Amino acid sequence: MTSKINIPVWAWLVLPVIVGILAGCEINDDDDSSSNGLVIVPVSVSFNASSPTNILFTASGGVPPYKWYVADNSLGSIVSSGTTAIYTSSTNAGRNFVTVMDAESNTVSATVNQL
């Protein structure tokens, strides 16, 4: 016999907000797309730089394969695999940019605010 757990609809709507608050991280998931359809998500993220933080970025559209870059290595580094990249912050405060480039050299960037 299997049991079914009934989770109210409101819980699914509130859960992402709670997770964001607990993580101390603010994410803007509106995509930033270039005219050729290359998209990076999230477009911006802000967090407290008191401890290293990992942020997952995804790319879509454009022409794969994708290459990932970070503007300021003193603020963070990036490890990528195809359509995804993980940004790992340092504990330095500042503004950084994560950029993805497609096979046709089209680029789109996301802003990382380390407060």
Average pLDDT over residues 18-46: 67
CATH class of 29-114: mainly beta
**Gyration radius of the chain over CA positions:** 17
Domain boundaries along the sequence of the chain: 29-114
pLDDT for the residue numbered 36: 78
Mean pLDDT of 1-6: 53
Q: 72 Cβ partners below 8 Å, 6+ apart?
A: 94, 96, 97
pLDDT of residue 8: 54
pLDDT in tens, 64-83: 999 999 999 999 999 999 99
Q: Are 75 and 90 in contact (CB under 8 A)?
A: yes
Q: Which helix (H) or strand (E) holds 97?
A: strand 94-101
Whether residue 112 is predicted with pLDDT greater than 80 in this model: the reply is yes
